Amino acid sequence: MKLLITGANGRVGSALCAYFLQRGDKVIPVTRADVDLTNLPALRAFLLEKNFDCLINPAAMSAPDQCEQEPELAQRINADAPAVMAEIAQLRGVRIIHFSTDYVFAGDRAGKRRENDCAEPSTVYGRSKLAGEQKVLENAPGLASVLRVSWVYGGERPGFVDQVMAQLLAGQSVRAVSDKWSIPTALDDLCEWLACLSKSSPGGIWHGCHAGEPVSWYALAIAVQETLQAGGWLAQGANVDAQSITEMSQWSARRPIHTAMDSAKLSSHLPRPIVDWRDALRRVIEQKMGGVPAIILDASCMTPVVD
């Protein structure tokens, strides 16, 4: 199979390129240096030149605050460029898998959202991503799948889980938002879900996250702490403290509160059911710690980051 993968330097795109290459598939990794997604004629010409059996599009303007400040650019990258990609996929008769987000939901009620629940985004990011979903599904009916993901972690690019691990292992306390809920997604499982969708998917919208109950960033940080302690990598000591989303004054885009998604539809399409987020988290942490039953590992091996 030959896959064209956009956003090849991004968190998800880089992991997908590595995963498919390792499986022995052919990959055309596409970065900003190859084609700027804001230039739609250049994008169309670039895609028409390439031969591929499936187009995967994780490229996006993915920072909600940047989208809020540059709404026209967000619309171009998150909606107009994917529309062109779907148009070319339709012309070629090949599958397109387009990434979207839990931020398409308003987030105003607790519980888990299904694929056909009403999407009413409250941010420029969410609106541009919803517009992208609609254009992709319209331009390549039956060939287009939209995969909504949330809180992706794991892989080479450090994210929230790595940051919490690094701080706790360094003996530093962690503060995390306790009044915003979603469900995390482990990148290695996400790659396997993609492999399945790229081979066989009737198209439409899919929710790609783990099973289990919605969790806040605070509860996720506690789960990281408990896993490190259970593995013998962390002694008691460092605190995980809750903070309110109202304290995040640096965010110009108001984040939706309840955006947990129900992935039962995707789970029933896969050869193995999607596992609970706690089991996936445990596996990823054990892999990151190398399975070493140490009391404390040197925290300098972890890279502290801002998510």
Ligand X SMILES: NC(=O)c1ccc[n+]([C@@H]2O[C@H](COP(=O)([O-])OP(=O)(O)OC[C@H]3O[C@@H](n4cnc5c(N)ncnc54)[C@H](OP(=O)(O)O)[C@@H]3O)[C@@H](O)[C@H]2O)c1
CB of 101 or CB of 163, closer to ligand X: 101
Q: Under the criterion CB under 6 A, does residue 36 sit at the interface with ligand X? A: yes
Is residue 188 left, alpha or beta, with left meaning phi > 0 and alpha meaning psi from -120 to 50?
Answer: alpha
User: In angstroms, rounded to a whole number, what is the distance separating the alpha carbons of residues 70 and 228?
Assistant: 40
In the complex, the smallest distance separating the C-beta of residue 109 from ligand X, rounded to whole angstroms, is: 19
Minimum CB distance to ligand X smaller for 100 or for 238? 100
209 binds ligand X (CB under 6 A): no
| Residues 56-115 interacting with ligand X (rule: CB under 6 A) | 58-62, 77, 99, 101
Verify binding: residue 152, ligand X, rule CB under 6 A. Answer: yes
Residue 13 in contact with ligand X, rule: CB under 6 A: yes
Residue 63 or 301: which CB sits closer to ligand X? 63
Kindly state the smallest distance separating residue 173's Cβ from ligand X, in Å.
Answer: 24
- To ligand X, the closest distance from the beta carbon of 292 in angstroms equals 28
Q: Determine whether 125 is an active site residue.
A: yes
Total of chain residues touching ligand X, rule CB under 6 A: 23
The one catalytic residue in 19, 125, 153, 218 is 125
Taking CB under 6 A as the criterion, which residues in 229-268 touch ligand X? none
Position closest to ligand X via CB: 10
Catalog residues that contact ligand X under the rule CB under 6 A.
Answer: 7, 9-13, 32, 36-38, 58-62, 77, 99, 101, 129, 149-152
Catalytic residues: 125
